[in-house]
Chains A and B, each alone.
Chain A
Amino acid sequence: MKIKVLGPGCANCTTLEKRTNEALQLSGVEATVEKVTDFAEIASYGIMSTPGLVIDEQVVVSGRVPKVQEIQSLLTGA
């Protein structure tokens, strides 16, 4: 599974990355987490408010920081 955290480096983006790693550990899913900070690439996902969470090239969350449990269910459901 390939996960991308989209965000230019604001506070919310760092929180999202931390929670994503936490959710991965809790659910035991194997995945690579990549941080995308380039504006052109972020925008190419069609999101306009950061942070964004992308699982296997599919945007699942944008513009808010989901809770760890929510990320877990996104990970296992995807």
Chain B
Amino acid sequence: MTVEVQEIRRDQWRLWGGLVAAIVGWWFLYSVNRPFWEWLLFDTVGFDADTHLGAAVEFFFYDTTKIALLLGGIIFAVTVLRSFMSVERTRALLGGRREGVGNVAAAGLGVVTPFCSCSAVPGFIGFVAAGVPLGITMSFLIASPMVNEVAIVLLYGLFGWKVAAVYVTAGLALAIVAGWVIGRLRLERFVEPFVFETTLRGQPVDLTSGLTWSDRFAMGREEVVSILRKIWPYLAVGIGIGAAIHGWVPEDFFVDAAGPDNPLAVPVAVGIGVPLYSNAAGVLPLVEALHAKGLAMGTVLAFMMSVVALSVPEMVLLRRVLKPRLLGIFVGVVAVGILMVGLLFNLIL
């Protein structure tokens, strides 16, 4: 065996051995999280679990650790998987699709394609200029921020798989129907004309092939750091408010004001959520605390959807490519869809 081959072997061992060690370490931290904080805060520091302060402090530390661990693990795994997928490939898959089938495909691809909100505008131009119909592009743009791996895993971690499944189904249905409606309305004239005039130079090269596992793992690690750095202020505020609600707001506080029987609860929640700008990670701790105090599940999910799917900064960005009329219709269709999802779930859950 040559020295070179030996070195490659050793690198491989280090790579996969490191992965296994990381998984075991993660699992250990996740399972000792609750006992550790209970031991530290209640048994050692002396907080009382039955006081407001004790409950709030325990919720804050336990939840912060849990969410950070969940996020770290998911973002890494998803980034590595997604390094096999690209927006360019998605566009190739969507080109020439008919409405209906195309909307379904676009919503599904919106979930698995790596896409950040700062790419919304170049993405939109890239899709439309390449001939992907407007409605199908919209299905993609709606599904992408709303149904993503962070939202799915956090919902699973905080509420269980049933709520996560319901959320995913509802989010996909909403993206498909809203995109289809926008497509049917024939609103192409309300897209800024420069979008259609954009000519795409050259053949987009597939830049994701040729990456080694080592590159993909490195991308995963970088992504975890960059996302956690970006969202920690939202997370801290969300968990902080959640902890306060957890500790001080009495049980069943919301049952009278915003329980399942109050038809106004969902519209109010959506009205508050639309202008707010946060992501799934920031809004979920808050949502968990609200639900624990009696806010109905449908209302809670509608609030979360409206926060992550629609926001003022995103509207400002999209205004560059959409005329006000179309932007208004986009917001209207999505908001009405979220409203219906919330009301429906309050009825059936």
B12 close to A (CB within 8 Å): no
Known: A39-B125, A61-B207, A63-B86. A45 touches B118 (CB 8 A): no
Q: Are B219 and A64 in contact (CB under 8 A)?
A: yes
Beta-carbon contacts of B110-124 to A below 8 Å, as 1s and 0s?
000011101101110
Q: Are B114 and A46 in contact (CB under 8 A)?
A: no
Residues of B contacting A59 in the complex (Cβ-Cβ under 8 angstroms): 202, 204-205, 207
Residues of A contacting B199 in the complex (Cβ-Cβ under 8 angstroms): 44
CB distance from B160 to the nearest CB of A (A): 33
Q: Give the docked Cα–Cα distance between A65 and B205 (Å).
A: 17
A10 close to B (CB within 8 Å): yes
Residues of B contacting A40 in the complex (Cβ-Cβ under 8 angstroms): 125, 194-195, 198
Q: Give the docked Cα–Cα distance between A40 and B198 (Å).
A: 6
- The SS class assigned to the B binding surface is helix
Residues of B contacting A42 in the complex (Cβ-Cβ under 8 angstroms): 122
CB distance from A62 to the nearest CB of B (A): 6
Known: A48-B91, A61-B207, A62-B207. A39 touches B200 (CB 8 A): no
**Smallest Cβ-Cβ distance to A48: which chain B residue:** B126
Residues of A contacting B226 in the complex (Cβ-Cβ under 8 angstroms): 11-12
Q: Give the docked Cα–Cα distance between A12 and B118 (Å).
A: 10
CB distance from A49 to the nearest CB of B (A): 5
Q: Which B residues, 125 to 153, have Cβ-Cβ distances below 8 Å to chain A?
A: 125-127, 129
Known: A39-B320, A40-B125. A48 touches B201 (CB 8 A): no
B162 close to A (CB within 8 Å): no
Residues of A contacting B204 in the complex (Cβ-Cβ under 8 angstroms): 46-47, 59
CB distance from A65 to the nearest CB of B (A): 8
B189 close to A (CB within 8 Å): no
Residues of A contacting B333 in the complex (Cβ-Cβ under 8 angstroms): none
Q: Which A residues, 24 to 75, have Cβ-Cβ distances below 8 Å to chain B?
A: 39-40, 42-50, 57-65, 67
**Smallest Cβ-Cβ distance to B118: which chain A residue:** A10
B88 close to A (CB within 8 Å): yes
Residues of B contacting A60 in the complex (Cβ-Cβ under 8 angstroms): 207
B106 close to A (CB within 8 Å): no
Q: Give the docked Cα–Cα distance between A64 and B250 (Å).
A: 46
Most buried by A among B126, B129, B219: B126
Residues of B contacting A67 in the complex (Cβ-Cβ under 8 angstroms): 218
Q: Are B116 and A39 in contact (CB under 8 A)?
A: no
Known: A39-B121, A39-B122, A50-B119. A63 touches B127 (CB 8 A): no
Residues of B contacting A39 in the complex (Cβ-Cβ under 8 angstroms): 121-122, 125, 320-321
B10 close to A (CB within 8 Å): no
**Smallest Cβ-Cβ distance to A52: which chain B residue:** B122
Q: Are B201 and A49 in contact (CB under 8 A)?
A: no
CB distance from B19 to the nearest CB of A (A): 20
B236 close to A (CB within 8 Å): no
Known: A39-B125, A59-B205, A63-B207. A49 touches B200 (CB 8 A): no
CB distance from B308 to the nearest CB of A (A): 18
Q: Are B119 and A49 in contact (CB under 8 A)?
A: yes
Residues of B contacting A50 in the complex (Cβ-Cβ under 8 angstroms): 118-119, 122
Contacts beyond the supplied A40-B195, A47-B122, A62-B207: 11 A-B pairs with Cβ under 8 Å: A8-B121, A8-B122, A39-B121, A43-B198, A44-B199, A44-B200, A45-B200, A46-B202, A57-B201, A59-B202, A59-B205
